[in-house]
A and B are shown apart, each in its own frame.
Chain A
Amino acid sequence: MSKIDFTVNGARHVVEADDDTPLLWLIRDNLGLTGTKFGCGVGVCGACTVLENGKAVRACQIPASEASSRSFVTIEGLSPDVSNPCQRAWLQEEVAQCGYCQAGMIMTACGLLQQNPDPSDEVIANVMSDSVCRCGTYSRIRKAIQRAANEMRTKKP
């Protein structure tokens, strides 16, 4: 057991955990932030995606020992009022069906748009194809990302 000192959604947390505990379970069990989902535990479905410095990372693949002194944003920390451009685009395009994978999808999309504010359809498909939605919402996810990208670009001075 070690003391893990890390930041989530701007708040600093110190938790006791085994070094190999995945960040996913620190977030869900220790911090009680259940918006970040478990889907596969081996980094192939994307359900547990969170942001670190604007980059999408898989919370199930980061052991506690490597999480210390790092700062992450989960779906709960994206906005206090569903005002993040991706969240709004997700609602406008009526993306979600069961909704379980969508937190991971939104975080992946946020990461993509931070790196590339004007992604082509091909780039969107490449990046988003690392994530699985069994309800089959992909076409709406694509449209929502395009909508969010447009909105973010037009808002910039």
Chain B
Amino acid sequence: MITSRRAFLKTAALSGASLVIGFDGGRLLQATAAGVAGSFQPNGWVCINSDGSVVLTIGKCEMGQGVRTSLAMILAEELEANWTRIKLLQAKPSADSDLGTGGSDSMASSWKPLRQAGAAAREMLITAAATRWKVDRDSCKAVDGAVEHRASGRHLDYGSLVADAAKVQLPQNPPLKNATDFKIIGHRTARIDGPEVVSGKARYGIDVKIPGMLYASLERPPFLGAKVKNLQEDKARAVSGVKSIIKLPRGIAVVANSTWGAIKGRAALAVEWSEPPRDAFDSDAHWKKLETASRETGFVTRKEERPPGTGAITKTIEATYYYPFYAHAPIETMNCVADVREKRCTIWAPTQAPERLQKQVAQLLGIAPADVDVNITLIGGGFGRRLAVDYALEAADISRAAKAPIQILWSRADDMKQGHFQAASVHYLSAEFDAHGAPVAWKHTKAGSFHNISPLDPKEMRDAAWYQDWSWGCYDVPYAFPAIQTAYVAVDLPVKHGPWRSVFAPSSVFARECFIDEVAQVRRADPLAFRLEMLKGTDVIKAGSTTVDRKRLRRVLETVRDKSGWTGTSISQGRGRGIACNAYSGRTYIAYVVDVSVDHENNIHVDRVIAAVDCGLVVNPVGVEQQMEGGIIWGISSALKGEITFHGGTAQQSSFADFAVARMRDTPAMEIHIVHSDAPQPFGMGEPPVPPIVPAIANAVFAATGTRIRRVPVRPEQLKQRVA
């Protein structure tokens, strides 16, 4: 269910029957009959009703990361709420809201405001009870959705206290619980929406149906600048249920009274597009461009130099790594319902970026953002794809022309060909050794592309911090080389591209974690022991704009070493063991030991993954495990399955047949070890599991076959023929 502030408050605070506390970045707000009108503009709020139910309205969207459950857990803990009485609603964006979900930031950014809101409500309820009983408030305690006064055995349910509590002064700095007293946070908690999912009742974007809604399918230009040469408009019109054919700059929409009518009508159009120009985008040509760019100096994002006179360089190694285009390929394809009326518009969208969506739809329609009412639905897989809002703009455009509410649904081929792809990049790395064979210098240049989900701000200062933002995993190399130089070379990319689970980290961490193995090989060192050696020295280091705690990174490495029974990288003929680690934004630390086997046709199977994670304070261990398992499977897809290639400006793949992803038969045995953390707060888990898994697999393949993997996905023909 979705709610607007106005509708919600009418039935809540204004009636005086509920206690309503809102929260945004740093402050708490109370909705009261007097103060609600203009000043109550939070990103989320909690409402405790007179029937004892607790309704938490959150801005963060649910796309599988379990955020609805973990946010509710944080609130319930401080509120001392009865877990079974918690309900969730989805907030809507507004001019100054910040509901975007991405960057693995929900836990870190919601932790403090949610705790404060819960604690404030708890304290107000205790004060209300103590006042009613005329007892010292310190003798009252909140327990399981009620306030109790042990001495007299009295007990009042929250519901019966809310009217009084709403009149108590809102405390801005309520006392927070000690972590040792947590009863919900840190405990395995079932997903709050689990029963809806397994009964088919959970409603995703595709499931939205509103009265009078028509269905649309859009035939898009296959490449930039493609023109329609021919189309069978009459044949499309003859398809039963087809209502209209709408020609827009973004494509030709077929609108029908059923999904199938729209799909069939679009096929009947049999659009013939113009031939792509000779210089249309081609991934082979792009690889060459990236390769050349990777040899440039680029923008230096980090530079640390050796003290002068510390010995000559006697050996240098270098390598080039290639990371391809990938689609997000969530199972729920892009879709959106738009209802455009005179000067206003209502949208139902599975979106990670409601404010961007609101602004861009408003701009398209020439109306104010406040007149675009955005309803965020459950999301059938986000992975960053739904930070772009192209599908919502299409829906609004078609609804405006059709003068009716419409649902646009992308086919699987649309989803593959019109993705905002993970952009390919090439990484050029080198390492230098002194006369004693000690590794003394590390260089990593990334040639890649930004994103085009929204225009870049031309006024932004393009300084080192800005470029670092495009090269996580490259500039923040945690290893103790006396000299370090990292750089970024931007290469234009004329196809849609954007954030993809872990955004800019996977390619850089792949290159870095494989090349550190190459450095270890020169040293004839065990790659795991070598990493630990290179993480000695100062524990907390400033790596570019990120702070990395090497102690936390060492600890996850030591954990996988001990849990995997690590004795080196060799296992047996045709099998190998690999290691990789990463500190994600200096926040979440993960290491993997991966065992692979390679058969006589050079097919690779990941047999076992031993993982260790330190994501700070753990809110829901189940959620952490799920994200780790999912990240590992995501990485197996990237390392061993499909990639996107372009020819004639068009992505060549169109289904799970030619863009393969991991399936159950590809699933390894997995052990997830959550390492006790010193961090006092939680960090994200959606993205961090992804970057180090691909290099751990690649390093294991090297151990099994003797072939360095510098390009993924690995193809059997890449591997040296093994002696049978």
Q: Which of A's residues lie within 8 Å of B, judged by CB?
A: 1, 17-18, 20-22, 25, 28-30, 32-42, 44-45, 47, 74-76, 78-79, 82, 87, 90-91, 94, 96-103, 106, 124-126, 128-142
Contact = CB atoms under 8 A, between A and B. Distances in A.
B206 A37 contact: yes
Interface in B311-344: 329-333
A135 B656 contact: no
Contacts of B487: none
Given A36-B200, A91-B190, A41 B667 contact: no
B57 to A, nearest CB: 21
A132 B64 CA distance: 15
Interface string B185-202: 000001101110111111
18 contacts: A25-B259, A25-B260, A29-B215, A29-B259, A45-B331, A82-B195, A82-B198, A94-B622, A97-B66, A98-B382, A100-B380, A100-B381, A124-B664, A129-B664, A135-B626, A136-B633, A136-B662, A139-B629
B626 A40 contact: no
A126 B629 CA distance: 20
Contacts of A45: 331, 412, 656
Given A42-B412, A96-B194, A100-B331, A136 B634 contact: yes
A99 B64 contact: yes
A99 B665 contact: no
A40 B633 CA distance: 20
A38 B664 contact: no
Contacts of B631: 136
B663 interface: yes
Given A40-B655, A97-B66, A132-B661, A138 B633 contact: yes
B628 to A, nearest CB: 10
Q: Is the interface of B mostly helix, strand, loop or mixed?
A: loop
B100 interface: no
A14 to B, nearest CB: 16
Given A126-B665, A132-B656, 10 more contacts: A37-B380, A47-B331, A91-B190, A96-B64, A96-B194, A100-B381, A101-B380, A106-B198, A138-B633, A138-B667
Contacts of A101: 331, 380
Given A139-B670, A140-B629, A1 B381 contact: no
Interface string B627-670: 00111111000000000000000000001110001111111001
Contacts of B409: 38
B403 interface: no
Interface in B584-631: 622, 626, 629-631
B539 interface: no
Contacts of A98: 62-64, 330-332, 378-382
Interface of B: 62-66, 190-191, 193-195, 197-204, 206-207, 209, 215, 240-241, 258-261, 263-264, 329-333, 378-383, 409, 411-412, 622, 626, 629-634, 655-657, 661-667, 670
A120 to B, nearest CB: 13
Contacts of B204: 37, 100
Contacts of B200: 33-36, 74-76, 103
Central interface residue in A40, A79, A90, by most chain B CB within 10 Å = A40
A129 B665 contact: yes
A20 B191 CA distance: 39
A59 B383 CA distance: 27
Contacts of A76: 199-201
Contact of A99 (B193, B655, B663, B664): B193
Nearest to B625: A94
Contact of B626 (A30, A97, A130): A97
Contacts of B634: 134, 136
B349 to A, nearest CB: 15
Contacts of A102: 197-198
A99 B66 CA distance: 10
A49 to B, nearest CB: 12
B664 A135 contact: no
Contacts of A33: 200
A97 B198 CA distance: 11
Nearest to B209: A32
Contacts of A1: 240
A149 B261 CA distance: 41
Contact of A18 (B240, B380, B657): B240
A21 B663 CA distance: 29
A133 to B, nearest CB: 7
A61 to B, nearest CB: 14
A132 B663 contact: yes
A105 to B, nearest CB: 10
A75 B64 CA distance: 20
B184 to A, nearest CB: 16
Contact of B329 (A17, A35, A91, A134): A134
A44 B657 contact: yes
A42 to B, nearest CB: 6
Query: Closest 5 interchain pairs by CB?
Result: A35-B200, A136-B633, A100-B380, A98-B64, A75-B200
Contacts of B667: 125, 138-139, 142
A45 B415 CA distance: 14
A79 B195 CA distance: 12
Contacts of B63: 98
A97 B65 contact: yes
Contacts of A34: 200, 203, 206-207, 209
A134 B195 contact: no
Contacts of B198: 75, 82, 87, 90-91, 96, 102-103, 106
A99 B380 CA distance: 7
Contact of B664 (A30, A40, A125): A125
A19 B204 CA distance: 28
A135 B629 CA distance: 9
Contact of B655 (A36, A42, A82, A126): A42
B656 A18 contact: no
A40 B329 CA distance: 10
Contacts of A128: 663-664
